[in-house]
Chain A
Amino acid sequence: MERLEINQPQNYQQPKLDRFLVCGLGSNGQNCVVALREFGVKAIAIEQVQPQNWEIPDLPNLLEDLIIGDCRQNSILLQAKIERCRAALLVTSNEQVNAETALAVRQLNPRTRIVVRSTKENLNRLLSEQLGNFIAFDPNQLPATAFALAALGTEVLGLFKLDGKLLMVGQRLIKSGDSWCNRFLYDLNSRKRRILAHLHSSSNLPSLHQWNPDTKIIHGDTIIYIEATDRFSPDLNHRQTSRRERKSFGKIIVGFWLNVKNFTNSFLQLSFQQQIRRVAFFSGIIVLVLLLIGTILLKWYYPETTWFSAFSATAILLLGGYSDLFGEFEPITTIPWWLQLFALELTVVGTVFVGVLYALLTEALLSSKFQFVKRRPPTPQNNHVVIVGLGRIGKQVATLLQEFKQAIVGISLALDFDRSFLPQMPLIVGNLKDSLPKANLATAKSVVVLTDDEILNLEIALMTREINPNSNLILRTYGQNLSNNWTQLLPNAQILGVYAVAAEAFAAAAFGENIIDLFRLNNQTILVTEYELETEDTLNGLLIAEVAYGYGVVVILHQKPSFASTLMPSDDLKLAVGDRLVVLATINGLRRVEEGNLNLINKCWQVRIEAALTSDALFEGANIISRISGCDLNTARELMNHLPDILSTPLYQHQAQRLVRELSQCMVKARLVALSIEI
């Protein structure tokens, strides 16, 4: 497909791209400004009207300039110095405005990277092909996996696919008898697994790489790791329990009785709570009473008739059939006047109340839209996940949780909810008061609150805490202020600010990185980020170990051009132009990569080589030193020929410890020499 013809000015020096533009200062836009600030840059913002209140109070100070106007207009974009913008983040809540602005930006500056908030996948693909250097995100979709995994309440923190391989970020609490107990941390790293963090029972979760490879794992430790896996089973124990439950006849009876009890309770509650149902209830009662009285009276007055005939005659009268029984104009002497009058009364009253019942029945049929779809399974009794709010993000979370084979129930507060969605999911549609009691909240494992209304989310969260204080509560917010306040109000809840989390991905994308996925670790967002190395890249020419420990990221995939990709690559690979790299990083790590700001303070570990026990060890030792430290092979051989001596290249701690281990395996005696500084 041919790209748009761009009016590219010729024959003049192109201005330096050193600015960042944010169009739209809603919640998403404000969070993007903050995230850009984390990268050390100030943004120029365009907003249609002067904001009266800032969600992030300090935001005006984070802006280089604020321009009031329509970001689709060239004049406004020029005012924002679009010709000097390295990236434009188009994050207004109106997708049409974002798309139009993207076209305008590309016309004015073919070099600007365009990052767009959009949910339209097909349009995004076409725009990406036409405009180039374009990426689109749906801020609601990015954190969906994070919500779903939080709802699992298990040890799975992240889950994503890379080159068709499933990768899982897990958290493991070491119990006595655990197969990892008494092993060294370095020993857990393999071709399929990387350790991300380690904490003792009393300590807080440290940052990536802040663990000592030579530490022995003990009971009570927690290990955070990433692992390639063939199949994902988040909650095996629960599924085994369910299977056992199905086999138990006693539990079937108990379950049935609970079902009946729940149904009765909810029916009674609904009848008295809802006006319309109360009318139906009373109409039905009155019709039944009249049917009973009529049948008894007719049978009493005509003892020769049967009970069924008396019942039929009363029913005919209640259904408006007075004329069928007393249709003759001539006087009826065989039936006393009072009985005829009672029959007339039955018809009149019956017409009114049966009419009401007909009306309600018609209304119920019409509101069901004649969707005679397969009946959904009943609400799970216990250990299930309740998803309140089935908007776009709610649907994604529900779909993911079903894929994870979780027992779930969805609650939609929108009466016009598409009832064909996930037919195997128990679904409750209706207002909050009616719906929550039906969801068996008291026995739920997790409650995920995802409606579009933040205050409603808070109300639901508080109700949930009241009914089930032990449940795993996950809450969606939009604003930064609310997120902070709610953390104090609901200390054990996991509160995810959708825009704050997504903004980090938007900001990282502005710098040209491809954000594959994200997950939350220790209240930080970890971005799964892909790089393709270019000539001036700050990753170029470095060992993977230097990238990892110098920039504070975890390299999980490496690919040389025209070779297959390798998961959990060796620390000793040297990166070159054209290589593809996928890392796990916080926004701080990405900023370091962007700036090329390698951490050198930690590169202070020295290795003293004492002796080589054999001549082979002398030769092999030099190879190992050169491979792990990245020093010249001649330098390494020179060192091995003048033992004992200290390797002149300083190393990071993990690098140095591995060098000592590998040297010792090939019969070379070596030890660490740490250089301590007073900071």
Chain B
Amino acid sequence: MSHESVNSQQLKLAALSDALCSAMKYGDEGFAIAVRILENETGQMRLTAYHVIWQQLDETGKQKLLQYLSQR
């Protein structure tokens, strides 16, 4: 993989993390937006989005996230 594409991927991941962290600050509405972003991502971006959201949540929030994903 070229350095450019590695950098580009890292930038995308960083931007995604920032966007999700920002969204998660806005309570339930922010959570809903974050989950919608997660749903639209694939592969490594999807996994990163999940990790970022997970790490922002308490135990109840994590359960809520899993519940939401299981219903999709």
The answer to whether A601 and B59 touch across the interface, beta carbons within 8 angstroms, is no
The answer to whether A675 and B42 touch across the interface, beta carbons within 8 angstroms, is no
Residues in B lying within 8 Å of A, measured CB to CB? 1, 5, 9, 38, 41-44, 46-47, 50-51, 54-55, 59, 62-63, 66-67, 69-70
Q: Say yes or no: is A542 at the interface (Cβ < 8 Å to chain B).
A: yes
Q: Say yes or no: is A614 at the interface (Cβ < 8 Å to chain B).
A: no
Could you give, for residues 642-679 of chain A, a 1 whenever the CB lies within 8 Å of some chain B CB and a 0 otherwise? 00000011100000000000000000000000011111
Also in contact, A650 and B54, with CB within 8 A (given A600-B69, A677-B66, A677-B67): yes
Q: How far is the CB of A576 from chain B (nearest CB, A)?
A: 6
Chain B residue with Cβ nearest A596 = B42
Once bound together, how far apart are the Cα atoms of A601 and B63, in whole Å? 10
Q: Say yes or no: is A74 at the interface (Cβ < 8 Å to chain B).
A: no
Chain A residue with Cβ nearest B47 = A598
Q: Say yes or no: is A578 at the interface (Cβ < 8 Å to chain B).
A: yes
A675 CB contacts on chain B under 8 angstroms = 59, 62-63, 66
B9 CB contacts on chain A under 8 angstroms = 540-541
Q: How far is the CB of A626 from chain B (nearest CB, A)?
A: 14
B46 CB contacts on chain A under 8 angstroms = 596-598, 600
The answer to whether A677 and B47 touch across the interface, beta carbons within 8 angstroms, is no
The answer to whether A540 and B43 touch across the interface, beta carbons within 8 angstroms, is yes
A577 CB contacts on chain B under 8 angstroms = 1, 5
The answer to whether B43 and A596 touch across the interface, beta carbons within 8 angstroms, is yes
The answer to whether A600 and B42 touch across the interface, beta carbons within 8 angstroms, is no
The answer to whether B62 and A576 touch across the interface, beta carbons within 8 angstroms, is no
Q: Sample 30 A-B pairs with CB under 8 A, ordered by A number.
A: A535-B1, A535-B5, A538-B42, A540-B44, A541-B9, A541-B43, A542-B43, A542-B47, A550-B47, A577-B1, A578-B1, A595-B42, A596-B41, A596-B42, A597-B46, A598-B46, A598-B50, A600-B46, A601-B66, A601-B70, A603-B50, A604-B66, A648-B55, A649-B51, A649-B55, A650-B62, A675-B62, A677-B63, A677-B66, A678-B67
Chain A residue with Cβ nearest B5 = A535
Q: How far is the CB of B35 from chain A (nearest CB, A)?
A: 11
Q: Say yes or no: is A537 at the interface (Cβ < 8 Å to chain B).
A: yes
Once bound together, how far apart are the Cα atoms of A596 and B43, in whole Å? 5
The answer to whether A537 and B62 touch across the interface, beta carbons within 8 angstroms, is no
Total number of residue pairs linking A and B with CB closer than 8 Å = 65
Give the size range of A's interface with the partner.
20 to 34
Candidates A541, A600, A604, A679; contact of B44 at CB < 8 Å: A541
Within residues 228 to 248 of chain A, which ones have a CB less than 8 A from any CB in chain B?
A: none
Q: How far is the CB of A597 from chain B (nearest CB, A)?
A: 7
Residues in A lying within 8 Å of B, measured CB to CB? 535, 537-542, 546, 550, 576-578, 595-598, 600-601, 603-604, 648-650, 675-679
Chain B residue with Cβ nearest A542 = B44
Q: How far is the CB of A33 from chain B (nearest CB, A)?
A: 25
B38 CB contacts on chain A under 8 angstroms = 600
Q: How far is the CB of A117 from chain B (nearest CB, A)?
A: 31
Chain B residue with Cβ nearest A677 = B66
Once bound together, how far apart are the Cα atoms of A577 and B43, in whole Å? 13
Q: How far is the CB of A674 from chain B (nearest CB, A)?
A: 11
Once bound together, how far apart are the Cα atoms of A573 and B36, in whole Å? 30
Once bound together, how far apart are the Cα atoms of A539 and B66, in whole Å? 23
B69 CB contacts on chain A under 8 angstroms = 600-601
A541, A577, A603, A648: most-surrounded residue (chain B CB, <10 A): A541
Q: How far is the CB of B62 from chain A (nearest CB, A)?
A: 6
The answer to whether A597 and B42 touch across the interface, beta carbons within 8 angstroms, is yes
A595 CB contacts on chain B under 8 angstroms = 42
Once bound together, how far apart are the Cα atoms of A356 and B59, in whole Å? 95
Q: How far is the CB of B13 from chain A (nearest CB, A)?
A: 8
A596 CB contacts on chain B under 8 angstroms = 41-43, 46
Once bound together, how far apart are the Cα atoms of A597 and B1, in whole Å? 23
Which 5 A-B pairs rank lowest in CB-CB distance, beginning with the nearest?
A596-B42, A538-B43, A541-B44, A577-B1, A596-B43
Q: How far is the CB of A409 from chain B (nearest CB, A)?
A: 52
Chain B residue with Cβ nearest A649 = B51
Chain B residue with Cβ nearest A597 = B42
B70 CB contacts on chain A under 8 angstroms = 601, 677, 679
Chain A residue with Cβ nearest B45 = A596
The answer to whether B67 and A546 touch across the interface, beta carbons within 8 angstroms, is no
A535 CB contacts on chain B under 8 angstroms = 1, 5
Q: How far is the CB of A376 from chain B (nearest CB, A)?
A: 57
Candidates A539, A600, A678; contact of B50 at CB < 8 Å: A600
Once bound together, how far apart are the Cα atoms of A677 and B42, in whole Å? 24
A550 CB contacts on chain B under 8 angstroms = 47
Once bound together, how far apart are the Cα atoms of A612 and B59, in whole Å? 25
Chain B residue with Cβ nearest A604 = B66
Q: How far is the CB of B33 from chain A (nearest CB, A)?
A: 17
A537 CB contacts on chain B under 8 angstroms = 43
Once bound together, how far apart are the Cα atoms of A648 and B66, in whole Å? 16
B67 CB contacts on chain A under 8 angstroms = 677-679
Q: How far is the CB of A571 from chain B (nearest CB, A)?
A: 15
The answer to whether A539 and B43 touch across the interface, beta carbons within 8 angstroms, is yes
Q: How far is the CB of A591 from chain B (nearest CB, A)?
A: 12
Chain A residue with Cβ nearest B71 = A679
A540 CB contacts on chain B under 8 angstroms = 9, 43-44
Chain B residue with Cβ nearest A547 = B43
Q: How far is the CB of B68 from chain A (nearest CB, A)?
A: 10
Q: How far is the CB of A325 from chain B (nearest CB, A)?
A: 100
Once bound together, how far apart are the Cα atoms of A189 and B41, in whole Å? 33
Q: A600-B46, A677-B66 are in contact. List 19 more A-B contacts (CB 8 A).
A: A535-B1, A538-B43, A539-B43, A540-B43, A540-B44, A542-B44, A576-B1, A577-B1, A578-B1, A597-B42, A597-B46, A598-B43, A598-B50, A601-B69, A603-B50, A649-B55, A678-B67, A679-B67, A679-B70
Chain B residue with Cβ nearest A593 = B43
A675, A676, A677, A678: most-surrounded residue (chain B CB, <10 A): A677
Once bound together, how far apart are the Cα atoms of A539 and B45, in whole Å? 11
